[in-house]
Chain A
Amino acid sequence: MLASSRDQQSQTLIFLPAWNEGESITTVIADVQAELPEATILVVDDGSHDDTVDAARQAGAEVAVLPFHIGLGAALQTGYRYAQENGFKYFAHLDSDGQHPPNQLMRILEPTWTNSADLVLGSRFTQEGDTPGSEFRSSPLRRVWIHILARLVTGIHGQRFTDITSGFRAGNHRAIDLFTQIYQPDFGEIEAVQTALARRLRVKEVPVVMLRRELGESYLTALPSIRFMFKAFLNLMVGRFRGTAH
């Protein structure tokens, strides 16, 4: 490994939002440690009622515990706040259910370390189709939905996206500073990209291999997807014109 990459690793925070992922989190943390031994790992527990917190501590991660369940966005923002308070220059976040394989972290971190992007989205699709080797197969309806959203954002912002709701992301201090201020407590992924684009951050999409969800419930299926769709559309319509002051 290059020396510069080692330095950057130690300036990188890897955080994992977790909600009742006690069964999978140990493996994920171990895999991240093996992949990026110099990076700091933070688990943000979003009001789990299983042994997520203990398991994460045992595995050697820092653990921030939200006092009650709020939502994915609020958990992610806790990670961004931690990164800002502790002066991390880079971050990556991934789901703690094993859906985002830690061996793909380098792929999304690389553009931020080489300063060719401020925010990197790991996409389960390439411009042509599924990322080769990807096991991820979501339901047909959801695939259609993801494509519609991606098309809309592409149309509105004039930059091509394929997987706009991906929770596998990396970035630098510019993204950290922005998301510390603004992040929707639930379903904030799309608006986060929009806000970043509005602030002229360089947003890049990188194809990654994703796995089938191993355990646990998805934030998306756990909540009524109608609400998600409504919110996504609302964000798409309003997000562009939204004031950035908070």
Chain B
Amino acid sequence: LTTLLSWGTPLLAAEAKVNLTTRSRIIAAVAAIFFFVLVLDLIRRRKLQERYTVVWFILAVGLLAGGVFPQLLETLANILGVRDTNAALFALLLLLLLALAFESTITASRQGEQITRLAQENALLKLREADRKTGAAAEDDES
């Protein structure tokens, strides 16, 4: 019960904690900046639609923030009850990727429906066009 009541405070405070090393922080920050530039460049070259970029910007900003302010990740690790900040980072990334994959499936479903609709309308249009042509040809024959 006491452990439940102390929710929010580190559960394993007594144990030694593993924090991010300076090197991993620098790598994260550099990767974030690189990624940021990449996304901007893809938008500039019209290879990526703006509406799909929000989440990627959030990812880049999050990565940068994690590198610059390691306390953020440490707080997160505490909330999750993880001793190793790196593990917290991985957990966060995994969740984010899961969310992204899920979002893609939703998009794919919507687009599948749209494609079906297009295919059906295409089939009916072509049929109507063919019937119109044969109808016109029949009239020509009569006259």
Contacts and interface: CB of A to CB of B under 8 A. Distances in A.
A177 B113 CA distance: 18
B16 interface: no
Interface in A177-209: 185
A70 B126 contact: no
B97 interface: no
B98 interface: no
Given A66-B119, A68-B119, A74-B119, A185 B126 contact: no
B116 interface: yes
A188 B131 CA distance: 30
Nearest to B118: A67
Contact of A67 (B113, B122, B131): B122
Given A62-B131, A185-B112, A81 B124 contact: yes
Contacts of B18: none
Interface string A151-192: 000000000000000000000000000000000010000000
Taking residues whose C-beta sits less than 8 angstroms from the other chain, chain B's interface range is 10 to 19
A18 to B, nearest CB: 12
Interface string A77-89: 1100110010000
A77 B119 contact: no
A64 B113 CA distance: 19
A85 B116 CA distance: 17
B123 interface: yes
Contacts of A74: 116, 119-120
A63 interface: yes
Contact of B116 (A44, A63, A64, A185): A185
Given A62-B131, A185-B112, A78 B120 contact: yes
Nearest to A68: B119
Contacts of B119: 66-68, 70, 74
Contacts of A85: 124
Interface string B106-143: 00000011001001111110110001000000000000
A85 B131 CA distance: 14
B123 A70 contact: no
Contact of B127 (A63, A77, A185): A63
Contact of B124 (A68, A78, A185): A78
A66 B131 contact: no
13 contacts: A64-B124, A64-B127, A66-B119, A67-B119, A67-B123, A68-B119, A70-B116, A74-B119, A74-B120, A78-B124, A81-B121, A82-B127, A185-B116
Closest 5 A/B residue pairs (Cβ): A64-B123, A78-B120, A64-B127, A74-B116, A66-B123
